[in-house]
Amino acid sequence: MRMHNPPHPGEIIREFCIAPLNLSVTEAADALGVTRKTLSTLLNGRSGISPEMALRLSKVFGRTPEGWLRLQLQFDLWKTQQSVDIRKLKRVEANV
């Protein structure tokens, strides 16, 4: 089932990982082994979760790397569906 207007994964990280632990962005970035700028870019929705970041998030905050990547995929797919018109496309059938 597709989510309607899913939040950017950065919002989820901020709300469910960083805020409950009362971490600053700098503290969370240090724990993840990334720069403050890298984490800030993700938290503010200007970048997405890469496979490398998914591994880091999994180790530091829990959840599987696949789970983190799934959040990013849901967000990316929803955003793309809002901007790409595929109504005129038709399925190609095999000629047998």
CA atoms within 13 A on the CB side of 70: 9
80: left (phi over 0), alpha (psi -120 to 50) or beta: alpha
Model confidence pLDDT, tens digit, residues 4-54: 889 999 999 999 999 999 999 999 999 999 999 999 999 999 999 999 999
Whole-prediction pTM: 0.87
Model confidence pLDDT, tens digit, residues 49-76: 999 999 999 999 999 999 999 999 999 9
- Determine the CATH number of domain 9-76: 1.10.260.40
Token look-up 């709300």 returns 15
Instruction: Spell out the domain ranges in the chain.
Output: 9-76
Contact call for residues 9 and 49 (beta carbons, < 8 A): yes
